[in-house]
Chains A and B, each alone.
Chain A
Amino acid sequence: MSAWLDMALNGAPINDSLVSQRQQSLALLRAARWPNRKVEAWKYTPVRALEQIDYSAANQSTAARGVDAVEGLSAIELVLINGVPQAIAGELPAGLQVRALSEGEAIAGELFGSVKPSRHIFGLVNDVLAADGWVIDVAPGVQIETPLRIVYRTTEAAQAHGRVLVRLGDKSRLTVIEQAEGTEPSMSTYFSEFSVGVGAHLEHYRFALQTGAAMSVGGCHVLLAERSELHSTLVGFGSDLSRLDVDVIHGGEFASAKVNAIYLLDGRELFDLHSTIEHACANGTTEENVRGIAGGQSKAVFNGRIHIHRHAQKTLAELNNRNLLLTSGAEINTKPELEIYADDVRCAHGATVAETDKGALYYLQSRGISRSQAQIMLNFGFINELVDAMPNAALAQWLRPQLRARFAQMGDA
C-alpha cells in the first residue's frame, strides 16, 4: 500500500475509550484501496509526496510559537500543536463545554465517526491515529456570541492528527473557525464533525492555508437536524498536497446550508476540494458557491456532489463553481455532480473555467494602474463577493491582506 501508512500505523490503534471504533476503522482502512489514479476520488491528486518527508527528524517539542491573534476578533482560542490540545486561556461562557478528546467524555464516543462518512480514507487514518483533539458541546438554547478559533499547528517534519467533535444543542448558536497554516515539511490530518441540533445555527470557517511542503488531508463534516442552519466559508491555498473533504448532510427537514469556498494556487501547488451535500430529507436548501484561481503550474481539483435522496422532495439546491486560470501551465479539474432521485426539486449547477479578461486588464492599465496591480485587482474582483459574504467582518478584514499578498506572489507570469 503505502510505506507512509505502514509507518504511521505502527503501534496503532490507541487503546482508549474509542478503541472499538478505532479498530473498526483500522479494518476498513486495511481493506480500502490506497489512493492512486484509478481511484475516482483521488484521480487528480497524487499522494506520493507523503512518502518523501523524513519524519524521523521531527522535533516533537510542543513549545512552538504562539498563535497570531486576529485583530478585532475576540475569540476563545483552542490550539492543537501536533494534535495536542493546549491550555485554554480564560473562562468559557455558560452553556459551552470544551474538553480534550483524551479526557474520554461519553459525548466523544457518541460523536466520533457519527457524522463523517467512512469512505474518506484519510478520515479512517485519522480515526485510528488522532489520539487527541477537542470535544465541544453547546447546551440547548444557548447562543455563544464569542467565536471559537481552533488553530491546527504542525511543526516541521511532524505527522499530526487531530480530531474535533462539536455538538450544538437544539436552538443553540455557535461560530467555529478552523485555521491551519504552515510551510515546512509535515503531514497532518485534521477532521472535524459537527452535529447541529434542531433549529440550531452553525457559522463555520475552515482556512486551509498550508503552503509549500506542509501537506494536509482533512475534512469538515456537518449533520444538520430539522430547521438548522449552516453558513460555512472554506478558504484553501495549495501545497505539495492539500486536500479537504466536506460533507453536509441534511438529516432533518427545512435545514439550510450555505457553503462558500475559495481556493488560490500558485507555483506547483495542489489543492483538492471534494464536497458532498446529502439531501436525505425534504424541504432542504443548499447554496454552494466555489471560486478558484490557479497560477504558475498549479493544479486545482474541485468535485462538488449534490445527492438528493428519494424522499427529499421540495429540495432547493444550487452549486456554482467558477475558475480563473492565470497561466497556460496551470490546471483546473472541476466536476459538479448532481444525483437526483426525487421528482419535485429545484436544482442547478454550473462550472466554468476562464482566463483573465484581457480587455479589463487593458482598461485598468489605460488608467495608469500597473499590470501586476491590475491583475491583483481582477483576481480580487473574482472572489470579493465571497469574502464580503463572510458573516464575521473581523475575519474578512484579517483575510484580505493575506489574499492580497498571495495574489502579489501569484503575479501573472
Chain B
Amino acid sequence: MLSIKNLHARVEDKTILKGLNLDVKPGEVHAIMGPNGAGKSTLGYVLSGRDGYEVEQGSAELDGHSLFDMETEERARAGLFLAFQYPVEIPGVSNMEFLKASVDAVREARGDSALSSAEFLKLARVVCKQVNLPVEFLKRGVNEGFSGGEKKRNEIMQMILLAPRLCILDETDSGLDIDALKVVADGVNSQRSSDRGFVVVTHYQRLLDYIKPDFVHVLSDGKIVKSGGPELAKELEAQGYSWLADHPDEVPAE
C-alpha cells in the first residue's frame, strides 16, 4: 500500500533523505529505528507534505496514488496519518471542533455521510475513554496545556477517529512514562488490522515491546541500511548505533 522508491529530500539546503526505499503491505507493522539525525522525522514530514521539506527525486505512492502530487490535506484524506512527535498547541480552537472538522473532511472525501454533532460527540466520548483522556479534554484548546503524554494520547485518539490506511508514528514513545506508553500502544494495537499499515519510527526498542513489528529497518544518513525481523531491534538495543559509524563497510549496499 505504501511504496517509497529512491526518495531524496532536503530541508532548506541540506539533503536529509538520500535514496530511501520502503514497501509496506496492508496489515504490516514496520519499525524504523536509527540514531538522531538519520532522517527519521524527516520521512514523516516529507510524506505528509510539510512546508520546507522538498523532494529532490524518487517517489512515494499510497495505494497507487502519488503522494507528492497531493496537498497535505489530500494526503490525509487519501488515508495517510502522521502521529506527531511534537503535537501543536492551538489555543482558541477546541479539540472538539478540530476533531469534528477533521473527521468531517476525511469522511466527505471517502463519500461517507457526515456525522451529526450528537453522533460525533458520542463517538468522541468512546474514543476518549479508550485512550484514557478525560472527556473534558474535548472542550479544551487543541493540545493546549496538555502534558506530553496527553498530547500523544490525543494523537492516538485522532488516529482512531480518522481510521487511516497508513499510520506513521513519529517517536510516539518519546517523553512517555511506562503507563502512558502502554495506553498509547494499546490504542495502536487496537487499530491493527489486515487492511491497515503502520510505520513506527522510534529511537528506542522499548516501544517495540508493546507494538510488535513485523519488520525492523535501520535508518542511517538518509537511507535504510539494514532490514530484518523483530530480533534486529533487540540487537540494536544491545549494540547501540555506534557500529554504523565504526563499520560503514558492513552496511549492505543499496
Chain A 352-386, CB-CB to B under 8 Å as 1, else 0, gives 00000111101111111111011001101111110
Q: A378-B90, A381-B91 are in contact. Are A365 and B101 (CB under 8 A)?
A: no
**Partner among A371, A377, A385 whose Cβ is within 8 Å of the Cβ of B98:** A377
Expressed in whole angstroms, the minimum distance between the Cβ of B11 and any Cβ of chain A is 14
Q: A358-B51, A381-B141 are in contact. Are A365 and B92 (CB under 8 A)?
A: no
The complex places the Cα of A347 from the Cα of B166 at a distance, in Å, of: 53
- The answer to whether A365 touches B73 (Cβ under 8 A) is yes
- The answer to whether B141 touches A365 (Cβ under 8 A) is no
Of all chain B residues, the one with the shortest Cβ separation from A372 is B73
The complex places the Cα of A358 from the Cα of B88 at a distance, in Å, of: 10
Chain A contacts of B106 at CB under 8 A? 367-368
- The answer to whether B105 touches A369 (Cβ under 8 A) is yes
- The answer to whether B90 touches A368 (Cβ under 8 A) is no
Chain A contacts of B93 at CB under 8 A? 377-378, 380-381, 384
Interface hits, B90-105 → A, CB 8 Å: 90-93, 97-98, 101-102, 105
- The answer to whether B98 touches A364 (Cβ under 8 A) is yes
Judge whether B219 is part of the interface by a CB distance below 8 angstroms.
no
Chain A contacts of B73 at CB under 8 A? 365-371, 374
- The answer to whether A359 touches B88 (Cβ under 8 A) is yes
Expressed in whole angstroms, the minimum distance between the Cβ of B123 and any Cβ of chain A is 16
CB-based A-B contact count at 8 angstroms: 81
Judge whether B48 is part of the interface by a CB distance below 8 angstroms.
yes
Expressed in whole angstroms, the minimum distance between the Cβ of B86 and any Cβ of chain A is 9
The complex places the Cα of A19 from the Cα of B50 at a distance, in Å, of: 67
Interface-side segment among B30-38, B57-65, B76-84: B76-84
Expressed in whole angstroms, the minimum distance between the Cβ of B131 and any Cβ of chain A is 16
Expressed in whole angstroms, the minimum distance between the Cβ of B51 and any Cβ of chain A is 6
Highest count of chain A CB atoms <10 Å: which of B72, B98, B141: B72
Expressed in whole angstroms, the minimum distance between the Cβ of A318 and any Cβ of chain B is 19
- The answer to whether B82 touches A366 (Cβ under 8 A) is yes
Interface hits, B125-183 → A, CB 8 Å: 141, 158, 162
Interface size class of B (residues with CB under 8 A): 20 to 34
**Partner among A358, A365, A384 whose Cβ is within 8 Å of the Cβ of B76:** A365
Chain B contacts of A369 at CB under 8 A? 73, 98, 101-102, 105
Chain B contacts of A368 at CB under 8 A? 73, 76-77, 102, 105-106, 109, 162
Expressed in whole angstroms, the minimum distance between the Cβ of B185 and any Cβ of chain A is 22
**Partner among B50, B75, B76, B101 whose Cβ is within 8 Å of the Cβ of A373:** B101
- The answer to whether A367 touches B98 (Cβ under 8 A) is yes
Judge whether B87 is part of the interface by a CB distance below 8 angstroms.
yes
**Partner among A358, A359, A384 whose Cβ is within 8 Å of the Cβ of B92:** A384
Chain B contacts of A358 at CB under 8 A? 51
Of all chain A residues, the one with the shortest Cβ separation from B103 is A368
**Partner among A363, A370, A382 whose Cβ is within 8 Å of the Cβ of B84:** A363
Expressed in whole angstroms, the minimum distance between the Cβ of B209 and any Cβ of chain A is 28
- The answer to whether A370 touches B105 (Cβ under 8 A) is yes
Chain B contacts of A366 at CB under 8 A? 48-50, 72-73, 75-76, 82, 84
Q: A358-B51, A369-B101, A377-B101 are in contact. Are A382 and B92 (CB under 8 A)?
A: yes
The complex places the Cα of A337 from the Cα of B109 at a distance, in Å, of: 51
Chain A contacts of B141 at CB under 8 A? 381
Judge whether B231 is part of the interface by a CB distance below 8 angstroms.
no
The complex places the Cα of A371 from the Cα of B73 at a distance, in Å, of: 8
The complex places the Cα of A378 from the Cα of B77 at a distance, in Å, of: 20
Of all chain B residues, the one with the shortest Cβ separation from A358 is B51
Can you list 19 A-B contacts (CB < 8 A)?
A: A357-B88, A358-B51, A359-B88, A362-B50, A362-B51, A365-B72, A366-B50, A366-B72, A367-B98, A367-B158, A368-B73, A368-B109, A370-B73, A373-B101, A377-B90, A377-B97, A380-B93, A381-B91, A384-B92
Assuming A364-B98, A371-B72, what are 4 further A-B pairs, CB within 8 angstroms? A364-B102, A367-B76, A369-B98, A378-B93
